[in-house]
Amino acid sequence: MSQSISAQSLDHSTLHHNVQGFQNVGMQPKQAGSFFGAMKTWLTAERNQPKPQVELPVHSIDMDELQATEQDRVYRLGHSSMLLKLDGQLILLDPVFSERASPVSFAGPKRFHPAPTSLEQLPYIDWVMISHDHYDHLDKASIKALKNKVGHFVVPLRVGDYLRDWGVADDKIVELDWWQSFKVNGIEVHATPTQHFSGRCLLDRNQTLWASYVIQSSRQNIYFSGDSGYFDGFKAIGERFGPFDLAMVETGAYSEQWADIHMLPEQSVQAAKDLQAKAMLPIHNSTFDLAMHDWYEPLERARTHAAALIQALVTPEMGQGLDLSNLPAQTPWWHAYMPAEAQTTGELAVSR
């Protein structure tokens, strides 16, 4: 395998850098409004089912079969954690294997379902890619467990400092700014903008960059959104790098109070259209309770709007492997796990 590595700037701009850290271009997000307003909404929100009341379907991933197949494949591991096989290489996106998306193990949002595989079962991983430093995307325990069996960690600017503190070798870490790229062994990754923010405590707001990724192999052109509000960057990315065979787009943990940093499902589908995605896979849902909507609402609203916009949707169950060269039509698997009244009436309580 070739070990030649190249990194180049495609269109480097410093508009998103300032003396305090990083910022979005053209706007500053409200980031959920006031604390008291957000708490009031959380406490008074009417929800049918914040968490599933029965076990959700989870497929155990056969690692021997995964390593043996020559297919390009995609697996949902939960929330925004994804496993790809492209050109024989394994890529992990935002791996979160911990029980909670939290700075502590005893409190915070808890998983609805187990991961389809364990950290111990994972074979050698060629790439780990992190979109930003929030706890539901950058998981310290997962990184520490993976550090000795990963070829390269690709992260936005300054996120690499966390990895170094957690024992990841410096020569494994590639930090990218927006519109920069990295290529090794025939796969090229481009870091692209999102409209979001960063920080793991109250004192480090926006000290690291946030990003989405374009992943290009010999047969596939893939997009991974990370977290973002809806913005014109999706169209710019689509014009530069599209069309995409698959776009994994954030669809969950939203509210109209913070729509500038977390898209509503209808905006997520429009983002897929802007990206020129042949198929959209909704991520950032069905694993943690992080907002004021029912657990199944993101998928159902995306399904409805995708039908209206004639956008192909792919909705695998957790751990279900899909052949990227022959993606199936979406299956609304969540219908069987929704509350009985929602299944009977077809009503959907939309959070605001």
List, in order, residues 6 or more apart from 63 with CB less than 8 Å away. 117, 121, 122, 123
pLDDT tens, residue by residue, 310-335: 999 999 999 999 999 999 988 899 99
218 located within any domain? yes
pTM of the model: 0.93
State residue 4's pLDDT score. Answer: 47
pLDDT given at position 345: 45
CATH number at residue 329: 3.60.15.10
The total of structural domains in the chain comes to: 1
Residue 348, pLDDT score: 55
Cα(119)–Cα(217) distance, rounded to whole angstroms?
Answer: 25
The residue segments making up the domain with residue 265 are 55-100+111-335
Do 153 and 163 contact (CB within 8 A), yes or no? yes
Domain contains 49: no
Does residue 83 lie in a domain region?
Answer: yes
Beta strands (DSSP E) in 15-140 are 17-18, 21-22, 73-78, 81-86, 89-93, 125-129
| Domain contains 345 | no
pLDDT at res. 341: 74
Regions in the chain scoring below 70 on pLDDT: 1-14, 28-45, 343-352
**Residue 246 placed within a domain:** yes
pLDDT for position 65: 95
Has residue 29 been placed in a domain? no
Q: Would residue 16 count as lying in a domain?
A: no
| pLDDT for residue 9 | 54
User: Would you say residue 278 lies in a domain?
Assistant: yes
User: Would the CA dihedral through 61, 189, 205, 291 be positive or negative?
Assistant: negative
